[in-house]
Amino acid sequence: RETALLTPQLEVKAVGLACTDAFGQANSAFAVSLYPNGTLQDIYTFPERDNEETKDKLRRFLLDSKPDVIVVNTSGGMRSRQMGRMMYRYLQEAIQLNKENEYYNDEEDRWECKILHQRDDVALVYAASVRGRQEFPEQPELVRQAVSLARGAQGPLQEVCAAWGAMDERGRC
């Protein structure tokens, strides 16, 4: 029963993107991809400046995870909007690269992905919670926020319930 609060019920491959409003600073934006069961697949750290190598890494990150949804936080303000637009451009390029793949099969490999901007109140609580620090002790808070955003897309009610469980439960906020 305890795992029902933590394991998403939908088979959704999600990417969560969390950023701050600090432009050009190192480690101010992260994207994480999750397997459909809610476990961490990969982490992408956005660099301070874009170059062709970093663009290729982001396209590869998207191709490797092939998300159904990308969730971008809103607390980053204008930077969140900019990151959402940038992810849309790279997502379109990754989808085109996927179509050009010699093994591409129209029916089996059709890949569609939506980009959503979501309030990150629950993600902020999770990132600062005991549960978040226990699950990802060596990761910065932005990575934990991105994980919560992606899990929220997989199972919104489950993510809220996991963040605000009974006060006497061990390991809760």
Q: DSSP for 106-172?
A: TTTS----EEEEE--HHHHHHHHSHHHHHHSTTS-HHHHHHHHHHHHHH-HHHHHHHHT--TTSTT-
Does position 144 have pLDDT exceeding 80, yes or no?
yes
Q: What is the pLDDT of residues 150-166, one digit of tens each?
A: 999 998 888 887 766 55
Task: Report which residue type is found at 84.
Answer: G
Q: Whole domain around residue 60: which residue ranges?
A: 2-163
Where residue 171 falls (left for φ over 0; alpha for ψ -120 to 50; beta otherwise) is: left
pTM over 0.75: yes
Does position 1 have pLDDT exceeding 50, yes or no?
no
Q: What is the pLDDT of residues 103-138, one digit of tens each?
A: 666 666 678 899 999 999 999 999 998 888 889 999
Distance of alpha carbon 18 from alpha carbon 76, whole angstroms:
8
What is the domain count for the chain?
A: 1
Asked if the structure places residue 55 within a domain, the reply is: yes
Query: Is residue 68 within 8 Å of 11, Cβ to Cβ?
Result: no
User: How is residue 5 annotated by DSSP?
Assistant: G
Question: Residue 110 sits in a domain of what CATH number?
Answer: 3.30.420.140
pLDDT of the residue at 106: 63
Average confidence (pLDDT) over 27-46: 92
Partners of 18 in the β-ladder: 30
Asked if the structure places residue 159 within a domain, the reply is: yes
Distance of alpha carbon 71 from alpha carbon 119, whole angstroms:
10
Torsion of CA 34, 39, 41, 44, to 10 degrees: 70
Asked if the structure places residue 169 within a domain, the reply is: no
Asked if the structure places residue 131 within a domain, the reply is: yes
Asked if the structure places residue 168 within a domain, the reply is: no
